[in-house]
Amino acid sequence: MATDNAAESTTTYVADFMNKLVSLCKRRGIIFQSSEIYGGFNGFWDYGPNGAPLRRSVERAWWKYMVEDRDNVVGLDSTIICAPMVWKASGHVDQFSDQMTDCKDCKKRWRVDQLPVPGECPACGSHNLTEPRDFNLMMKTYVGPVFDEEHKAYLRAETCQPIFVDFNTIRVATRQKLPFGIAQTGKAFRNEINPRNFTFRSREFMQMEMEFFCEDEGSLDWFDYWMKQRWEFYTKVLRIPENKLRWHWHEKLAHYAKKAVDIEFEFPFGWDEVEGIHHRGTWDMSQHAKFSGEEAACSVFNPDTKESRFPTVVETSCGLDRICLMLLCNAYEEDTAATQKADKDEDIRVVLHLPARIAPVQAAVLPLSKKLEAPTRELQKALRAADIRTEYDDTGSIGKRYRRQDEIGTPFCVTYDFETENDNAVTVRERDSMQQERIAIAELPGYLLGRIHA
Ligand code: GAP
């Protein structure tokens, strides 16, 4: 009984937390349902004025960390639709499927591996479920004027396949030698049976993947190396606390793989995957060699051994939308301590403690009075020139404006007041500590940049 109560209160807490986060994201233009005026479209999400810069800056941080700051990883931006044979070779056309079942009573559809109680409908409790059947997750379209089997094509289900296909062109163009990596970020599409947990499982989402090509002999060392690098990305660059992350090793491995591990985050709805690090062996390169007949484009000649071999691949693969969801869940706080007044529930300060580097707005510029608009706009110009994402706001009291900025995670609010004309300084209020400091205008861009990139 006690366990039942505990389980029930956890379920309520999760639903409550997620409802609040989803509602904040909509209210503040961060993330909301696609096609909302048509009732929404399940599994598709739009990033609004405060979500687009968040997603872009996380992608930018990943690209810098994985590509720009390294000599041995180069970038690619391939098409979403590739020759259909690519997906035949990769195994997606024949094997990329989940098992689904339908409840004959309430007509809901489920992924068999996600049923909490096997053989029981989670919605109505019925045991009247259809036999499990395979459901291919590839999204299909047609290329050309005729809509028939021959013209069928697929939207990519993962961003890595074009990397394998373009491997040789990129290797020759960049004069890279093994070991080296190719990275790509972009949209991927999966016809998920049951999209759920806000953006966690979507049908259109962004992946950020890096395929590292090496000799098979050293591949396990590279696997360990990339595990360390990826952990560092989450803890040092995105500032996710170590105790909210963990490793989850795969027990069932594909025959060609030597190791596979996920990085999981403790979401409100439980520990779940944000990234996979996979040893893919020579599977992809040998499959593309077989299906394309271009063996030389899929292998590397070793001048010492005078031998051509398929390179072994170690992959790091994460979902950008999942990372944004992780950041939002981690950042969300209802701060009562700072503002508590007796019997005043409405005084809760909702704040997103996002790292300054990825916050949608990094500095809000606020004139104390509308009369100060012109010089405040000048100040905003100077911050923009220093590559700081800013927002100008002159509506409502300063307190209300602070609250609005807290809700979208703005780390610094800069107030231009009547004293500024005399002392050439402004008040900088920090989101997390709510401390205020007077900073000379001439020093402001440097001061903020130092804090943002600390
Ligand atoms: N190339 C390997 C690959 O695609 P995966 O485990 O299927 O591996 C990698 O996907 C990452 O992509 C996951 O860790 C997750 O972050 C993200 N991802 C996968 N399916 C997703 C979905 N339906 N919605 C959002 N993100 C997804």
Over residues 238-265, the pLDDT tens digits come to 999 999 999 999 999 988 889 999 999 9
pLDDT digits (tens, 9 = 90+) for 277-316: 999 999 999 999 999 999 999 999 988 889 999 999 999 9
Q: How far apart are CA 393 and CA 49, in angstroms?
A: 15
Pairing of β 73-76 and β 180-189: parallel
Separation of 171 CA from ligand 1 center, angstroms? Answer: 26
Query: For residue 273, which atom of ligand 1 is closest to its CA?
Result: 14
Whether 158 is in the pocket of ligand 1, judged by its Cβ within 6 Å, is yes
Q: What's the per-residue H, E or C state across 345-408?
A: HHHCEEEECCCCCCCCCCEEEEECCHHHHHHHHHHHHHHHHCCCCEEECCCCCHHHHHHHHHHH
Of the candidates 351, 222, 328, 232, the one whose C-alpha atom is nearest the C-alpha of residue 280 is 222
Does the beta carbon of 275 sit less than 6 angstroms from any atom of ligand 1?
yes
Non-local CB neighbours of 125 within 8 Å, separated by 6+ positions: none
Cβ of 201 less than 6 Å from ligand 1? yes
Whether residue 341 is predicted with pLDDT greater than 90 in this model: the reply is no
DSSP 116: S
Question: pTM of the entire structure?
Answer: 0.94
Rounded distance, CA 124 to CA 103, Å? 9
Atom of ligand 1 nearest to the CA of 203: 23
Q: Give the CB-side neighbour count of residue 138, counting CA atoms within 13 A.
A: 21
Q: At residue 385, does pLDDT exceed 60? A: yes
CA atoms within 13 A on the CB side of 305: 7
Asked if residue 264 has its Cβ within 6 Å of ligand 1, the reply is: no
Q: What is the pLDDT of residues 315-328, one digit of tens each?
A: 999 999 999 999 99
Q: Would you state the structure tokens that stand for residue 135, as one six-digit string?
A: 């459901």
Nearest CA to ligand 1 atom 25: 201
Query: So what's the pLDDT on residue 18?
Result: 96
- Residue 347: pLDDT band (50, 70, 90) is confident
3-state secondary structure of 433: coil
On the question of pLDDT at 2 being above 80, the answer is no
Q: Give the Cα separation of 416 and 4 in Å (integer).
A: 55
**Residues 6 or more apart whose Cβ sits within 8 Å of residue 401:** 364, 366, 393, 395, 413
**pLDDT, mean over the chain:** 95
Domains, the chain: 2-96+138-327 (3.30.930.10), 97-136 (no CATH), 361-452 (3.40.50.800)
State if residue 209 touches ligand 1 by the CB under 6 angstroms criterion.
yes
The pLDDT confidence band at residue 352, using thresholds 50, 70 and 90, is: very high
Distance CA 47, CA 68 (A): 26
Closest residue by Cα to atom 7, ligand 1, is: 158
Whole-number pLDDT of residue 339: 59
Cβ–ligand 1 distance for 192 under 6 Å, the answer yes
CA distance 389 to 383: 8
Q: Is the CB of 204 under 6 A from ligand 1?
A: no
The 10s digit of each residue's pLDDT in 405-419 is 999 999 999 999 999
High-pLDDT (> 70) share of the chain, %:
97
Contacts of 411 (CB under 8 A, 6+ apart): 354, 356, 359, 362, 363, 430, 431, 432, 451, 452
Ligand 1 pocket test, candidate residues 256, 273, 287, most atoms within 8 A of CB: 273
Which residue has a Cα nearest atom 2 of ligand 1? 317
Alpha carbons within 13 A on the beta-carbon side of 451: 19
**pLDDT at res. 10:** 82
* C-alpha 275 – ligand 1 centre gap (Å): 7
